[in-house]
Structure 1
Amino acid sequence: MNWVALAPETNSICATGMRQSPINMVDGVFHMVPSSDIKLEIPDFTEGAEFENLGTTVEVVAKGGSLQLSEANYTLRQFHFHLPSEHLDNGTSIAMEMHMVFETAEKDIAVIGVFIDLDNGGSPATEDPIATPTPTAAAKRRGFHLRRQESSIAPSPTGSFGGVQGFLTVPMIKAPGITSPVLETVFSKVGEIKTPGTRTSTPPLAMGSVVQAIMGGSFQSYSGSLTTPPCKEGVRWFVATQKLQISTATFESVRSVIGFNARYPQNTPGQPNMLQLARAQV
């Protein structure tokens, strides 16, 4: 989507940035960060959490949680969902993707991306690109979703990737998806927030089970961007190799509320922006 045309002054990097997200996560290409190299802690939300429809996605407002990357400490702000997945798994779009958004006191951002598949082993998405969303849908993305996720961030980290130690280039090991009671619990309330701007509260969420599941794998890491305007770069991405799963019925209920809200895959980091290439061919 040509977001720069919607707001040229604020969205220009969407069309010019060379480290844009999402991208195709190809086995053996990215640094693998073992779970032992990061410290992820999220308390159980014993009283539930605020769950709201932002018009661009549905989002759970976090009640604590931290991500420690060597000397950098991040606080969990929220987690939200994209349908289908924004990142590709070796060229394949997965049913959904969860983004757990963390932020430092200096407003630097790290995101843990988690693929969500269906518990029958299938996914309604395919390798074929999905149709570009309508201008109305794209315009919505410039709204409420930005207030929590899209704050100012530092320049793109270099070298040791801004504080993460012990990067390894190791063979990719992918385990079967793990059914997530937490996601099922969250999405059991999605019917209560069908209208943008509405909110509800979830039942208690045992977030420790989510941490345990995704920390059972490793993480593909790269320096990318926010996937919605203003597309600022310098975001530290950690895409989990461990997938979570939900039932087909749950997926369909979520799809009925949020529809399509995924940005199309961008070029490999460091390559020219897709929109620049497209303009050059016109």
Structure 2
Amino acid sequence: QNSTAHWDYETHGPSCWGDFAQECQKGHLQSPINIVSKDSKPLKGSLSLKMNEDMHATADVVDNGHAIQVNVKDGGKLVLDGREYTLVQFHFHGHSEHTIDGKQFALEGHLVHKSADGHLAVVGVMFNEGENNPVLDNVLGGIGRNIRIDPQDLLPHDKKHYYHYVGSLTTPPCTEGVQWYILKAPMSASKAQIEDMRAHYDHNFRPVQPTTSIKLEVK
């Protein structure tokens, strides 16, 4: 999500990230977190996921050195509290970063949206091992190339139920103020797809962070 100095998930891993970006160590709204469902309060607002359903976006699939990332052009919009965000990229973590009631999922996808004034909103999608996922085939087979993709295909049918909190980027510089929306309904990926994703990046997940200052909401 950013190229701050030299960081990784091993020698210069999460416990050292504060050396590159102070917020990673000193921030109070750091992501990811373990979502404790019973601690969440009902959300008053509403997340509107408008993802250009009829439009197949053009996208470049890149290995950014930390994750398999898909840079999207014309990928859809997200409206939150009257502010419009545009999908700019999505990427995958070889194990989920967020956990729900202590459960870690097989993979986690992050759809990163940005508003015109620089605010970030990330939609998190969990993947369980199960049926083959055509979108992942498209992504894994397209590394280093330009592909056509419908970002809507990355999302479960049920987009109305999710957890929300204000957190941070999960990689340096760990910038806070990110609006997180973790969809409750998981997607599926086959065992082979999960192994293929992990062959690129197996350990690219940050440990869960303290939730003392986090206000968790649920819809």
- TM value normalised by structure 2: 0.82
- Residue correspondences, number: 199
Aligned to 1:172: none
1:33 positional shift: 4.8
Pick aligned residue for 1:28 from 38, 52, 75: 38
Question: Is the contact made by 1:225 and 1:234 (CA closer than 8 Å) also made in structure 2?
Answer: yes
1:185 positional shift: 2.3
1:6 positional shift: 3.3
Aligned to 2:16: 3
1:230 positional shift: 1.2
Larger radius of gyration: 1
Pick aligned residue for 1:238 from 161, 171, 181: 181
Amino acid at match of 1:14: C
Whole-angstrom distance in 2 between the partners of 1:180 and 1:259: 19
Whole-angstrom distance in 2 between the partners of 1:182 and 1:214: 17
- The structure with more strand, counted as a fraction of residues: 2
Pick aligned residue for 1:60 from 67, 70, 75: 70
The alignment partner of 1:253 has SS state of helix
Whole-angstrom distance in 2 between the partners of 1:82 and 1:31: 27
1:237 positional shift: 0.6
Consecutive unaligned residues of structure 1, counting only runs of 5 or more, are 121-178, 194-198, 272-282
Whole-angstrom distance in 1 between the partners of 2:201 and 2:177: 27
Amino acid at match of 2:87: L
1:214 positional shift: 4.6
Question: Is the contact made by 1:31 and 1:221 (CA closer than 8 Å) also made in structure 2?
Answer: no
1:206 positional shift: 3.3
RMSD of equivalent CA atoms: 2.3
Whole-angstrom distance in 2 between the partners of 1:257 and 1:269: 34
Consecutive unaligned residues of structure 2, counting only runs of 5 or more, are 1-13, 215-219
- The structure with more helix, counted as a fraction of residues: 1
- CA distance 1:103–1:112, change in 2 (3 Å): same
Amino acid at match of 1:200: R
Amino acid at match of 1:237: W
- CA distance 1:241–1:32, change in 2 (3 Å): farther
Percentage of identical aligned residues? 32
